Structure 1
């Protein structure tokens, strides 16, 4: 899941980005409305977390413009503007959620995850492909009943492959869904991660390499719980 953060505070912005990356999100950080609007035009995001007051204006302008254009992209307003009138204005402009500073990072993470899932097609809480099981809410992976320890990025890639079981997922698609602008898309970052994931999952290897295209999680009897 890929998230755009609009926050000009030189300390808070990087901290929010780092915390959400630790939780498994791909995160891009914008400092201005213009920067955020540009990024929204070239990337597919699952959620936007926006401070109200940034150097070139109020993020309500960005929010309202996207709503007028028909966008249903979830927006969470993260701000010190805490009056009832401020919150009402946010919701009237199309905000999906509102979190007042200071805040707990655990709460921010939970709210962002909920908004990201709301923006995606309905999916089952558990996925099963052969002897591989993924519990999405608890972020747990088992193979043949054995609990595996995956990094946040490994989990994100496995989730995409399992949601599209039987389909070829290109490297570009994996980067778009699981990495942010720090992911060095022209490098072999995807191939390295797939190698790590294969070692975590163990034999027999459930991931097929489709040369020249990407990867596929194949299982003729794949089923989703």
Structure 2
């Protein structure tokens, strides 16, 4: 079973260090959540793990292989893909064109086309809107498209940066349920999320960051109540 390991990762932007030696472990077939206040380094950590930002210190390992500072397309080929905040769909491209972008790191185009057709069968609303530009889709449909696009490369792990952001309460529940279904396929999920109440029930393990440092790690059962989470956010318990 594959494991994603971040060991004492240091990362940031320009000369500003944002993440200060954070370590975590995420397992295949499970959902690992990262919580924390705005600006604490959650998204920076996720981007560093995905290769979208350089790792200044520490290492990233996937399935026993070091992937630190590999080009993003090589990270994808290793089986790890990032779905950025807001999904990152290309608004002027059609649904099918967006899905093909998910297979950019795969040389075999027939293989990509076959995977896309299989995914479209799983998402009927996308099948009906194959030629529609992504910008014309609803927020929920864009979230669905982004998730389907991430699956084209058949990753071992998906990194999700606030997948519920901007969605209606009903769509938040539906989106998180779709994410939970991925684990049944053996895919590991490492997810940054602000909607703690919705994410906690599907999390297998969680980490809490504050000021760029890990303040807590454990299972949802290890968290007593909302007060404990807020205390951690503020640098207490």
TM-score (norm 1): 0.30
TM-score (norm 2): 0.29
**Structure having the higher Rg:** 1
- Structure number with higher relative contact order (C-alpha < 8 Å, ≥ 6 residues apart): 2
